[in-house]
Amino acid sequence: MLLKKFQTINRNIAMNETTSAQATKEMVRSKYAEIAVNSKAHNQSSCCGAGGCSEEVYNIMTDDYSQLKGYEEGADLGLGCGLPTEYAGIKRGDTVVDLGSGAGNDCFVARHETGDSGKVIGIDFTPEMIEKARGNAEKLGYNNVEFRHGDIENIPISAAQVDVIVSNCVLNLVPNKDKAFSEMHRILKVGGHFSVSDIVLEGHLPSNLRNVAEMYAGCVSGAIEKEHYIAKIKKAGFQNVSIQKSKPIFIPDDILSGYLSPEEINSFRTDGAKIMSITVRGEKISETCCEPGCC
């Protein structure tokens, strides 16, 4: 039933280039509810969890978490596009928030860094993911890791409560990115910072890819130009913004052929457009932004 519902939403999105933000959220929620009940192997055989879409690669975007301390295989659904917790600079006693926490993978890595004296909060708007994450935390006996159902555009955390925010291949799926970054700035303490991995573009992504639900839930079609992405972060009031890691994402022809003609694939390959995974850091230096034009 869930798959049939998603297929209906998929057709509607493909037909309507100006789909509302609420419909987009419902599409993402439905797809990630489906992903929550699948195994890591099933998800990794797809395009970032988007469905069986390539025979050329095992996984397109995911980095290997298995060498990080705190890693829990049962919480790794193979959906990320970076290792933000590796770059987050989490200290003992920190309060850490993971936006789009899924089954809890990044939360458990963060918990290792913050220790028993810290706290980790996972936020996700898919009930099935929250249920899965809470089950994983219970099995591990972690009493300082909690998972809250909520929207990244309206984070259920009071202002100035958080030391570090992490997120992995999630913010590009949020329709209102300005609101999401503003919310991140709100919940961080002065002196706090974020480290997020996400998908961005360099050059023009063909509209056929932007308008297909599998590619949206697969972490590509919600992406925006890298310069615009960084500009939104700065507009929210963050300072000392830097790219900690960058890598190209290659989408094989057998995926592209589902959305583009051979001529369009050739044009996409030759016009210089790139799909990139970046890990970005930003700091909250003050409660208000004082630089001209950033507020």
Note the pLDDT tens digit of each residue in 30-59: 776 676 666 555 554 444 444 444 444 435
The kind and range of the H/E element at 128 are: helix 127-140
Average pLDDT, the chain: 82
Note the pLDDT tens digit of each residue in 139-178: 999 999 999 999 999 999 999 999 999 999 899 889 899 9
Rounded to the nearest 5 degrees, what angle is found at the Cα of 121, between the Cα atoms of 44 and 76?
A: 15
High-pLDDT (> 90) share of the chain, %: 49
Q: Where are the beta strands (DSSP E) in the chain?
A: 95-99, 119-124, 145-149, 162-168, 188-202, 239-248, 274-283
**Contact criterion met (CB below 8 Å) for 107 and 77:** no
Higher pLDDT, 37 or 220: 220
3-state secondary structure of 281: strand
What pLDDT score does 130 carry?
95
Of 261, 173, 214, nearest in space to 11 by CA: 214
> What CATH code is assigned to 2-283?
3.40.50.150
pLDDT beyond 80 at 295: no
pLDDT band at 287 (very low <50, low <70, confident <90, very high): confident
The structural domains of the chain, with segments of one domain joined by +, span: 2-283
3-state secondary structure of 124: strand
For 281, residues 6+ apart whose C-beta sits below 8 A from its C-beta are 87, 193, 194, 195, 240, 241, 242, 244
What pLDDT score does 57 carry?
41
Note the pLDDT tens digit of each residue in 72-118: 777 777 777 889 999 999 999 999 999 999 999 999 999 999 999 99
pLDDT beyond 60 at 243: yes
Mean pLDDT (whole number) for 249-254: 85
